[in-house]
Amino acid sequence: MEITITGLTPGFAGEVSGIGITQPLTHAQAGAIEAGMDRYAVLVYRDQRFTDEQQKEFSRNFGALEQARASNITAPADRRLDLEMADVSNLGADHRPLARDDRRRLFNLGNQLWHSDSSFRAIPAKYSLLSGRIVVDDGGNTEFADMRAAYDALDARTKAEVEDLVCEHSLIYSRGTLGFTELTDDDRRMFAPVRQRLVRTHPVTGRKSLYLSSHIGSIAGWPVPEARAFIRDLTEHATQPRFVYVHRWRQFDLVMWDNRTTMHRVRRFDETRVRDMRRTTVAGESMTVEQLAA
C-alpha cells in the first residue's frame, strides 16, 4: 500500500495512512515521510502500538537520537524511562501521577507554554516524535503553530527587523515565567543560555520561519524588557488560531513534528489521571547562528 498523507489544516499538519511504522521502513518509505514532514511540518499516525525500542528504531530513520539529559531536573536515578526517551508523562518511576507540589511536575508545567523542543541546546532538535501510550479524554490536547506561515504573514518592515536577530534561550527563562525559580547551582550551569537566530531557513525547502520559544529571555544587543515585549508580541502573532493545528489524542497516536518550523504546547488536564506520553527526539545537525543569512 502506498503512503498517503491527508491534510488536516490547509498546508499544515497531515495524517499518514498506508504504513505501519512499528515495523522497519524501506528507504523509500522513510524518504516519503521526510518529504511529508518538509511539506506539512506535523504528521499524525493513528493506532501505532509502539514499544520504546520500536519507537527509537522508527525515529532513527531521520537521524541520531538526542539524549534526554540536561532537559529537566529529574535525577538520573529517578528516571522512569531510559535516556533516549524524554518522559513527558505526569508520572514518577512508580508509574503513578506525581504529587501536586512535586518539583518535577512543576518544572514540567513549562510544556504548557509555547515552545520548540531543545531550543535551549546549542544544537537544537530536528524532529520530535510523541507516542500517546495512555491518553486522557478531557483536556491534554497538544497544539502546534506553523512558524513558516507566521513568518510569511509578517509585514515587510518586521521581516527586515527580525532577519538577523539572535536570541538567548534557556530553561531558566521559561520556568522563570511560571515563577519556578528554585534551581540549584548545578541546574543553572546545565541550563546556561544558548544563542539562536530568530529567523531560520529550512535546509531543504528554503522556506523561512520564525524561531520562537518560551525559552527566549533576551535578544542580543537589546534591552531585556524591550526584547521580552517584542518576543511576546511575535508569539501572539504566531499562535493565532489560523496558524494552529489542535491535536486531540487517541491512544496509540504518534505525532511527529519539525522543531525547526513549529512551536507546540500541551493544554491543562486533570493531573490526578495517568497521561503516559513518551517522546523520542531527533538531534539537529548544526547551530542556527552558523546559518548563513539567506
E strand or H helix that includes residue 278? strand 276-283
Q: Residue 279: left (phi > 0), alpha (psi -120 to 50), or beta?
A: beta
Q: Which residues bind Mn ion (CB under 5 A)?
A: 117
Q: How far is the CB of 279 from ligand OGA (least distance, A)?
A: 4
Q: How far is the CB of 108 from ligand OGA (least distance, A)?
A: 9
Binding partner of 118, given ligand OGA, Mn ion, none, CB within 5-8 angstroms per partner class:
none
At residue 287, the 3 state secondary structure works out as coil
Helices (DSSP H) in 147-255: which residue ranges? 147-152, 156-162, 171-177, 185-190, 224-238
Among 128, 174, 235, 262, binds ligand OGA (CB under 6 A): 128
At residue 201, the 3 state secondary structure works out as strand
Number of residues that bind ligand OGA (CB under 6 A): 10
Instruction: Tell whether residue 266 is a contact of ligand OGA (CB under 6 A).
Output: yes
Instruction: Tell whether residue 214 is a contact of ligand OGA (CB under 6 A).
Output: no
30 versus 283: smaller Cβ distance to Mn ion: 283
112 versus 158: smaller Cβ distance to Mn ion: 112
Per DSSP, 122 falls in state: S
- Residue pair 200/167 in contact (Cβ under 8 Å)? The answer is no
The CA R_g of the chain, rounded to the nearest whole Å, is 18
Binding partner of 279, given Mn ion, ligand OGA, none, CB within 5-8 angstroms per partner class:
ligand OGA
d(CA 194, CA 73): 18
Binding partner of 266, given ligand OGA, Mn ion, none, CB within 5-8 angstroms per partner class:
ligand OGA
The type of residue at 198 is: L
- Could you tell me which of 50, 8, 21 has the C-alpha nearest to residue 276? 50
108 versus 219: smaller Cβ distance to ligand OGA: 108
Instruction: Tell whether residue 48 is a contact of ligand OGA (CB under 6 A).
Output: no
Q: How far is the CB of 117 from ligand OGA (least distance, A)?
A: 5
Per DSSP, 271 falls in state: T
In the region spanning residues 80 to 119, those forming contacts with ligand OGA, defined by CB under 6 A, are 88, 111, 117
Q: How far is the CB of 213 from ligand OGA (least distance, A)?
A: 11
Q: HSE-up of 290 (CA within 13 Å, CB side)?
A: 8
Among 33, 183, 277, 282, binds ligand OGA (CB under 6 A): 277
Binding site for ligand OGA (CB under 6 A): 88, 111, 117, 128, 130, 142, 264, 266, 277, 279
